[in-house]
Amino acid sequence: MTKAPDTSLHRCGHVAIVGRPNVGKSTLLNRLVGQKLAITSHKPQTTRHSIIGVNTLPSAQLVYVDTPGIHQRGEQPMNRYLNRTAKAVLAGVDVVVFVVEALAWSAEDQIVADALRDSDVPVLAVVNKVDTVKDKHCLLPFLASLGERLPFHVIIPVSARHGQHVDEIEAALLPLLPEGENIYPEDQLTDRSSRFLAAELVREQLTRLYDKELPYALTVEIEKFEEQGELLRIFALVSVEKASQKAILIGKGGAAMKEASRRARLAMEKLFGKKVFLRVWVKVDKSWSADEKALASLGYREEG
């Protein structure tokens, strides 16, 4: 009989959160760490970078790694970058949380499952969006089918949006982490800089406010991040690929961009706990997503 892990030990380890696009990985990360770190929207492929969220407990530190969704469309440089980033996270983690949508299994879910099949670390299946399932009896055969696809350590139905049963994920993860001291200071929530988080908050609002393909044709850089006492002065540059996209972003009389900037500013004030002065410019840069060298210059690099 396998000896149960000693939960009295101090534990610390990395937990990868993986899945296809738009299953709620970033929403789940924010719930698990109790802080909005990863941007979210109803559009797939909102997450472009892996981001670490740290949850420090008295007896453990869980280092969650949120990833871009693994998807089928991999022809463009940006899509190739997203897939490589997501798959690279699987190397060197202690546990994997595979997020799937309740009652939905697609070819992209199968791609993730195939990538995990030869993994030598425990894999938890988290079935998200159970709050959207009206007939809960339908969940039982779906959960049973998941168990036949991969030898999951455990399968946990949750609603990341409403926080239902999310605490069960942490309880299942703790015994699986290796013994060790904390990697990050107790008060550190992420490995990302304030500039990065500010850029992501601007991109989040642009992704939420604009339809169709426009959110995928833009990127955001923070050109200036100045701290003046209790005031942050932040200057953001939005790059798009076409002049027509710039016109749509700005909107008639600049109204559309003003609204996106207002929402981003309020989100920054909540995250940073300070008043924020935010100014946003838009420029046309036809080459920003055209090749991997251009992407790297904008910070789209695989992390070690």
Rounded CA-CA distance 126/123 in Å is 10
Looking at residue 219, what is its pLDDT?
A: 86
Domain positions in the chain are 11-176, 194-297
Pick among 3.20.20.70, 3.30.300.20, 3.90.1200.10, 3.40.50.20: CATH of 194-297: 3.30.300.20
- Evaluate whether 11-176 and 194-297 have a shared fold: no
Distance in Å from the first CA to the final CA of the chain? 37
Mean per-residue pLDDT for 221-246?
Answer: 94
The amino acid present at 109, given as its one-letter code, is D
Mean pLDDT check: name the lowest of 129-133, 136-140, 142-146, 212-216: 212-216
User: Is the separation of the CB atoms in 261 and 248 below 8 Å?
Assistant: no
pTM of the predicted model over 0.85: no
Looking at residue 296, what is its pLDDT?
A: 47
**Binning pLDDT at 50, 70 and 90, where does residue 9 land?**
confident
**Binning pLDDT at 50, 70 and 90, where does residue 8 land?**
low
Rounded CA-CA distance 187/94 in Å is 22
Residue 304 has pLDDT above 50, yes or no: no
Mean pLDDT check: name the lowest of 46-50, 180-184, 254-258: 46-50
Which class does domain 11-176 fall in?
alpha beta
Q: What is the pLDDT of residues 56-85, one digit of tens each?
A: 999 999 999 887 766 555 555 545 544 555
Exposure pattern of 163-191 as b/e (b: 16+ CB <10 Å)?
A: eeebeebbebbbebbeeeebeeeeeebbb
**Binning pLDDT at 50, 70 and 90, where does residue 47 land?**
low
**Binning pLDDT at 50, 70 and 90, where does residue 6 land?**
low
Whole-number average pLDDT of the chain: 85
